[in-house]
Copies of this chain bind each other. A is one copy, B any other.
Amino acid sequence: MHRTYSLRATRAPSAQDLQNPPPPVSSTKAGRFFGRGSLTHSIRRSTAGSFGPELARRLAVLVKMEKNVMRSMELVANERKEVAKQLSYWGEESDDDDVSDVTDKLGVLLYEMGELEDQSIDKYDQYRVTLKSIRNIEASVQPSRDRKQKITDQIAHLKYKEPNSPKIVVLEQELVRAEAESLVAEAQLSNITREKFKAAYNYLFDSIREHCEKQALIAGYSKALLELLDDTPVTPGEIRPAYDGYDASKQIIMDCESALRDWTIDQATVKPTLSIRRTDAGYVDENGEDWDATKEHDTHAKEDEPQHA
């Protein structure tokens, strides 16, 4: 959030940042040749599938499409920030003190939403990079499959043409080696795919949860800010009572700032309720064990317990 409680300043790292430091800036944010229009997007997407080994193509397309998503997210983030500035710029013009103050503070909060969106893009990039490593292992497994296939074909061919050629024996030994190699390759493929897949999406969903809860927080504080604006209608010529909300509005920004700064994933309040749990035996319902150790998938905070104890 902005130290000065207005639209210019530097930001301090939040508790969540300290818990796990933010990733490097997304690679998609640099190096544009054309604009970010959908033309580029469709080109990128359509070309992706047409190169590289068969096995890795679908994922290659997915990775490219994710790049499109990120480019679009960037657009939104940047435009949100501009909107925030324009809002406080508009309020500045109106000669009401309260409209001007509320819009300025609201601008700060909306700008912060844009900032959050910007950070979530960097996280999104980390997820995308992890997907790439799956694509790479897929690509590297292809040759060993091809080689195995090729040798098998050669043997079949020879057996048909000259059934008792000595080359057959040699080829069959080669085939055994190729099969061994391919066994290893397939095992690597399966292991790395699963490991990276889980890692990538767990990271993505955590970052989504962080982003969403923080945005919901900001929205809540923004609503509190709106309360400061007195909207009781006045009759012509009547003078509105002087605006006394400066301290309040600043306090709201500060509260919001500290709430965002202290937020960590463990404090996430939006939680799913699962009607089945996992046990070593398999999956049982309600009266079974917990889904897993972490409380995460345990219960849904929207149960009617008092949130405001």
Contacts and interface: CB of A to CB of B under 8 A. Distances in A.
Given A75-B75, A305-B309, A283 B247 contact: yes
B197 A229 contact: yes
Interface stretch (A22-30, A152-160, A211-219): A211-219
Nearest to A38: B35
Given A274-B252, A301-B307, A230 B86 contact: no
A296 interface: yes
Contacts of A282: 244
A177 interface: no
A193 B219 CA distance: 21
Contacts of A240: 190
Contact of A83 (B62, B89, B208): B62
A150 interface: no
Interface string A265-309: 001111111111010001100000001100111111111110111
Interface string A38-72: 11010000000000000000110110011011001
Contacts of A216: 208-209, 212-213, 216, 268, 270
Interface string A211-244: 1110111011111101111110111111010001
Nearest to A303: B309
Given A201-B223, A201-B226, 12 more contacts: A62-B87, A69-B83, A73-B76, A190-B234, A198-B231, A206-B219, A206-B223, A217-B272, A220-B270, A244-B282, A248-B278, A299-B309
15 contacts: A41-B79, A58-B90, A62-B83, A72-B76, A76-B76, A183-B236, A187-B234, A212-B216, A224-B274, A247-B283, A248-B283, A255-B272, A259-B300, A271-B308, A298-B308
Interface of A: 35-39, 41, 58-59, 61-62, 65-66, 68-69, 72-73, 75-76, 79-80, 82-83, 86-87, 89-90, 93-94, 96, 99, 106, 113, 180, 183-184, 186-187, 190-191, 193-195, 197-198, 201-202, 205-206, 208-209, 211-213, 215-217, 219-224, 226-231, 233-238, 240, 244-245, 247-248, 251-252, 254-256, 259, 263, 267-276, 278, 282-283, 291-292, 295-305, 307-309
